[in-house]
Amino acid sequence: MVTSVSILGATGSIGTSTLALVREGGFRVVALTANSDAKKLAALAKEFDAEIAAVSDEGAYAELKSLLSGTRTKAAGGASGTIEAASARSDILLSAIVGAAGLAPTVAGFAPGRKIALANKECLLTAGSLFMREAQKAGATVLPVDSEHNAVFQALACGKRDAVKRVTLTASGGPFRTLSRERLALVTPEEAVRHPNWSMGAKISIDSATLMNKGLELIEAHYLFDLSSDQLETLVHPQSVVHALVEFHDGSVVAQMAHPDMRIPIGFCLAWPERLEWQAPRLDLAKVGSLHFEAPDHERFPALFLARAALDAGGSAPNVLNAANEVAIDAFRARRLSFPGIPALTGAVLEKAEKEGLYREVSTVNDALGVDHVARSLAATLLPQFAAKAS
């Protein structure tokens, strides 16, 4: 049976890896979206004979429409076009837009029996409880694409939920794992986007370098698996071979291992509950030789502390954390903020947001996006103080 799939963020790193698996056969593409890269999106829509292709950026719509004229693919544009693409009927919705922009289209894509393969962790950061509740209400199944969460999902299958004691997410430690504080202050955006093990988009690569990615993933795990903060731990593991470990009450620890390649967790989600048969890169442990583990250094990588504090504060604190971090990363990439300035600015925004009563439960997607908006404004207001320190 051919499985139909739609991809939000088809032109990105996860989108590209997903389409590489789709090329292996057994899938039919229904909808593809991008932000503004009309050329790449149109080429993909033609190659996969998609029913609908959408660019979120209104300005790119005319180009997409003209590139797709004469084909059977419908061109769509703007927020409503992306929602239309997300809502088009297919078995699987792969959610891989980067940032909070992924929330509304992913929620719009919930449908009975539909598999939501979730790469966009910001859906959970901006509206975790609401997102999981709405998915359940709609009868959709959320499957984690993020490699650590995919690993937890697989390991959890080895025991009953009430037998789970602890879950550990591993972190590669990023490209600056061994750098001194002094050297960290001089890190450039070009250095930060070069991840030692994974090939990923720029934003998540920088998050891996600050270890904020692992902090965001703690929060992601909390919402995905309903685990409390004290059940969640992180462990630095530079080889990125063991992706997560689940410890049960009887002392057994179940870990999932795989070669660090996002096509493996993506393929898991596409085929679930079956297993995909493809030429997956083999994990050759003899070649890896040894596996190393160490506790994360919170002094040099304070982002982990901030994320833990946001997780413990609950409500919309993770949303504020995520928004402030996105603003800080944009400023870092524009050379307006130093590398240590990213967690410094994010921490200051969290503090201010708490004082201003911004931490509250949200009940709608628009409500969540409202908090995101206010947190970004707060970050923009505070940025000059930190930017000054960067120069």
80 Cβ contact partners less than 8 Å away, ≥ 6 residues apart:
none
Name residue 23's amino acid.
R
Cα–Cα distances in Å, from 7 out to 28, 33, 105, 261, 326?
11, 6, 11, 19, 23
365 binds ligand NDP (CB under 6 A): no
Supply the minimum distance, in Å, between the C-beta of residue 270 and ligand NDP.
Answer: 15
Q: Give the nearer residue to ligand NDP in terms of CB position, either 266 or 371.
A: 266
Return the range that interacts with ligand NDP (CB under 6 A); candidates 119-127, 308-316, 319-327, 379-387: 119-127
Terminal Cα-to-Cα distance of the chain (whole angstroms): 59
Whether the Cβ atoms of residue 38 and residue 58 lie closer than 8 Å to each other:
no
Return the range that interacts with ligand NDP (CB under 6 A); candidates 35-43, 253-261, 293-301, 382-390: 35-43
Dihedral of the CA atoms 215, 218, 222, 225 (nearest 10)?
A: 150
- Interatomic CA distance for residues 200 and 202, integer angstroms: 7
Q: Give the nearer residue to Mg ion in terms of CB position, either 149 or 376.
A: 149
Return the range that interacts with ligand NDP (CB under 6 A); candidates 114-122, 158-166, 241-249, 366-374: 114-122
122 binds Mg ion (CB under 5 A): no
Supply the minimum distance, in Å, between the C-beta of residue 71 and ligand NDP.
Answer: 19
36 binds ligand NDP (CB under 6 A): yes
261 binds Mg ion (CB under 5 A): no
Return the range that interacts with ligand NDP (CB under 6 A); candidates 153-161, 200-208, 296-304, 320-328: 200-208
Name residue 237's amino acid.
H
- Tell me the HSE value of 155 on the side-chain side, using a 13 A CA sphere: 28
- For residue 92, what are the β-bridge partners? 5, 115
Q: Give the nearer residue to Mg ion in terms of CB position, either 37 or 220.
A: 220
- Tell me the residue nearest to ligand NDP as measured from the CB: 12
Supply the minimum distance, in Å, between the C-beta of residue 248 and ligand NDP.
Answer: 26
Q: Give the nearer residue to ligand NDP in terms of CB position, either 115 or 121.
A: 121
Which phi-psi region, left, alpha or beta, contains residue 25 (left: φ > 0; alpha: ψ -120 to 50)? left
Task: Annotate each residue in 137-176 with x if it binds Mg ion (CB under 5 A) or - if it does not, as one string.
Answer: ---------xxx----------------------------
Q: Is the dihedral of CA 153, 158, 162, 164 positive or negative?
A: negative
Supply the minimum distance, in Å, between the C-beta of residue 209 and Mg ion.
Answer: 13
Which among 376, 363, 290 has a CA at the least distance from the CA of 329? Answer: 376
The per-residue DSSP string of 262-277 comes to THHHHHHHHHTTS---
Supply the minimum distance, in Å, between the C-beta of residue 122 and ligand NDP.
Answer: 5
197 binds ligand NDP (CB under 6 A): no
Residues that bind ligand NDP (CB under 6 A): 9-15, 34-37, 56, 96-99, 101, 119-122, 146, 198, 200-201, 204, 262
Residues that bind Mg ion (CB under 5 A): 146-148
